[in-house]
Structure 1
C-alpha cells in the first residue's frame, strides 16, 4: 500500500489513514508512506506512524505522480494499492481491492471514495460533480463493472503493468494544492493499450471516506477545479488522442449530466428551492470544463 503526503495540515487524517491501512494489512503486506519533499513531515511521520509503516522520501518530481512512482519503485509486491493521505479505509476495503485480481485479466481495481464533509455540503453542489472533491459521483453504477480508470484516492494496479508502462506521468497530477489531475486516467489508458484484453474494474465494496475540507466547498474551488480538469483532459488528449482520452466523458455528458439536470428541476418543482440551482451549476461546471479543455488544446498548438 502506498500513501502519498505533502503537508502537515492533514496530520490527523493522515494518521487515521495509516492506522486503518495497517489494521487491514496482512503479514506479507507492506504500508509505505511517501513524503513529497517535506523533511519536517517525513521526520515527524517516521516518529509517529503506526508500527509497520515504512516512511520514505519522494525521489521523483515534486507532486503526486512523483510520489506514487517512488512508492512503486520502493516495493516488490505484486499488487500496489494507492491511497490518498486524506482518505480513510473502511472495513473490508483491502480485501475488496485485492479479490478481483483472482481473475488474471484484471490489471487494475478502483473503489468508492465517499465524501466526509467537514462542513455541510452546499445545497447548490450537485452529486454529479463530486469528482471535483475527489469522490465517487452520482452516475457511476453501484455494482462491479469495467471502467476506463479508477479514482485516484482508492485504486490499485498490478506492479508489473505499471513498471511496463513507466508508471505515472510526472507531467500530470497534483502539485501541492494546484487542482490539476488526470494522471490516473493517462496511466490507465497506457496500461490497457499496452495489454489488450486486460481489464480495470470497479469494486464498490472497497470503500474509503475521503475528507472534504471547508475550502473545497466554495464556489471558487469548484470553478477552479472544473477549469483545471479541462486543462488536464487536454493534456491527456495530446498524449493519446480524443478517442480514449474522452470516451468516459462523452458518456458522462450525454447521460449523467442530463439526468442530473432533470433531477434538479424535478426537485425544484417539488419544493426544493435549491434544485434549480444544482441544475444551473451542472451547466456552469460543464461550461468551465469545456473552456479549460479548449484553452489547453489551444495552448498545445
Structure 2
C-alpha cells in the first residue's frame, strides 16, 4: 500500500499550529483523515503514529492500514507567510483604545446660512402678515418686515437647496498633537474644507476628484460613477506619522481603480505626503494621506 500525505497545516496564535483536515491517497482511493484541532508547541516537531488508524473513503467501507508497516506522520510547526497589507479592520482594532477628541469648537463655517436666512425670512414674513391684518401688534412695521422678509426667505431657500453638509471628522488625541507640527498646509486645508458647509458644489473635493479620476475622458470614469466622500479620520501611523484618512463610497468602482491612481493622489495633495490605498467593507475605500514630516 502506498500512502501519499498532503496534510494541511495552518498557523495558530501564540506561535502554535492548528491542524485541519488532511488528505491521503491509498490504493488508488481518495480518503480523508480528520484530525482534531490541537495546539503544537512552537519550535518542536511532533510525530503521529498512524498505525491502526481507519481511513474512511467517501461512500465506501472502512479500510485498515497495514499494522505490520507502521506509518508515522511528522509535523513541524512553521510560521505562516502573509503578504497582505494591513486592512482597515486591523487599523480600527489598533485605534480602539485611543482617545478621541470631541469636535466642540464653534466656527461660523459650521453654521448653515441657508437655515439662518430661511428662519429669519419666514419669521419676518409671518409677523409682517400678522401685523398687517392687525392680528399682531406693530402694524406700522408690517410693510418693512414684509419687504425684507420675502427676499431673505427666498435667499435662505436657495442656499438650503445648494448647500453641501460637512462630513464627519474623527480625530484621535495623538493625531491632534501632531497636526500643527507635521500636517502640511494642504492637509489642513482639506480638513477645514470638508468639515464646513459649502454652497454650489455637487460634492466635497469635487475639483480634486475630477482631475484624479478624469471624468468623461479617455482612461477615466463617468461622472455618475465618481466616489463620494463619506468621512475623514485623523490618526497616527505605526511609524508615528500624521495621517489624514479620507473614506469614499464608490459602488461602481473597484480597488484597482483607486490603486492605479495612487500616484495622482500623492501628486495632487502633495508635496510632502505619501498616499496609500485600502479597501473597506460595503463598497468603502480609504485614501490615506500620510505626512512625510517627522515629529
TM-score normalised over the length of structure 2: 0.22
TM-score normalised over the length of structure 1: 0.22
Larger Rg, first or second structure (1 or 2): 2
